[in-house]
Amino acid sequence: MTSLLVLQQVRAVDPARQLDAVVDIVIERGRIIRIGRGAASELSPSEHVKFVRGPLTVFPGFIDLHTHLREPGHEYKEDIASGLKAAAHGGFVAVCSMPNTKPVNDRRSITDAIVARAKEVGGTRLHPIGAVTVGSEGHKLADIGDMRLAGAVAISDDGRCVTSSSVMRHALEYARTFDMPVIQHAEDHALTEGAQMNEGAVSTRIGLRGWPRVAEDIIVARDVLLAEATGARYHVAHVSTHGAVRILREAKSRGIRVTAEVTPHHLLLTDESVIGYNTACKVNPPLRLAEDVAALREALADGTIDCIATDHAPHSGLEKDCEFSAAAPGMLGLELCVPLLYGFVLDGTLRIERFVDALSQAPAGIVSLERPTLAEGARADITVIDPEARWHIDPSKFRSKSKNTPFAGREVRGRVTMTIVGGNVAFEFGS
């Protein structure tokens, strides 16, 4: 049994401490007990002291605000055990799980069951998100206070938009009492009935019903006004349009309590990827245009979009190996996010501090979790990567039960080599 874990001569990057230096990190009993140049110089490897060395970069542990772990109800796609293993494999120390399970997580008994199962599984922590409304049907508020007590960190009807202005107002007002953010899937369903992909030249050419960008913008604009009126915390899930970015930027400049996330796929792909009826690229909101991708990257870099979230949405062949209109929306994210997006650090799209903040401290703040940090005395939630690794995405290596990704075969830079959750190694590459 090792009692000390030592990360020796690693580059440590922690934007919260303006730290970017080569240091040793010593971890004992779940906490960082020493960090600094030569902090481990008096230690040597033994039965009780595990050393990790190499040209590695370490970050405060990554947190994903937006995952679908499918349990209860759709365990053939993913379950809490496989989902949390996938999360650890992808470098995440904690994930939030959306409530669109079967049954919907709209009451304490279900939240309890999810929390209990995650504790049994161990490794990456799971923080459930409760439904806004009963059954996520958009009418009656769910048991928000009870779910909070059971461990829910936010509420959302993700997959569906809280369409009614009145219900959304009351959700924001009520959630404010419990200091929870309301996470909105911004889609005016009246404008997207039957929609299969982004509305534009590509949807016209390949004959698929379009999802116009304005359907997102309308909801974000309305919700920002409601957030202002109620003073509540509002978070926009998977922002996909340049219009929504503009509204968010304006709202933030006026001090409204609004935050936002963006997915790796919306930062990397456009609607052109759907050509050929590639169901792996069917997501909701859909992949947009190059001008949207550019606006999303810029907004992530300048902080208008606070964080990166994967919208990890596992599906089996039943939902994806079929004609496009019959396919379910969503793609995997947990095991792809870091390698896909580390390229942004290398090509200068994102400063490394912003990359780390967007994956760690910013999401923690949005759902009021303890912010991971690389400091003496801090809980040892740490993500370790090999920044030099060059490799190809191979879905057969995924811990997820599902394989639905359009990124198979893509060459990436940077590999997660270790995920440390509360001092315990939840994942280690090669072991």
Q: Give the interface with another protein as residue ranges (CB under 8 A).
A: 196, 199-201, 203-210, 212, 276-277, 321-326
Pick 199 or 357: Cβ nearer another protein: 199
Q: Quick one: which H or E segment has residue 144? A: helix 144-150
Q: Which is nearer to another protein, 78 or 271 (CB)?
A: 271
Shortest distance, CB of residue 327 to another protein, whole angstroms? Answer: 10
- Cis check: omega of the bond before 72, within 30 degrees of 0: yes
Closer residue to another protein, CB minimum distance, 164 or 278: 278
Question: Is the separation of the CB atoms in 418 and 427 below 8 Å?
Answer: yes
Q: Which is nearer to another protein, 21 or 201 (CB)?
A: 201
Q: Residue 18: is it exposed, middle or buried by C-beta count within 10 angstroms (0-12/13-18/19+)?
A: exposed
Place of tokens 């990360």: 7
How many beta carbons lie within 10 A of that of residue 46, not counting itself? 11
CB of 322 to another protein, least distance (A): 6
The residue annotated as part of the active site, out of 157, 311, 357, 386, is 311
Pick the closer one to another protein by CB: 138 or 210. Answer: 210
β 411-421/424-428 pair status: antiparallel
Buried-exposed string 322-346: b where 16+ CB fall within 10 A, e elsewhere: eebeebbbbbbbbbbbbbbbbebbe
CB of 200 to another protein, least distance (A): 6
Angstrom distance (rounded) from CA 329 to CA 342: 25
Neighbours of 115 (CB within 10 A): 18
Q: How many CB atoms lie within 10 A of CB 47?
A: 8
Chain position carrying tokens 């219900």? 167
The question of whether 217 is a catalytic residue gets the answer no
Task: Give the separation between CA 232 and CA 224, rounded to whole angstroms.
Answer: 10
Task: Report the residue number, 214 or 301, with the smaller CB distance to another protein.
Answer: 214
Q: Which residues are catalytic?
A: 311
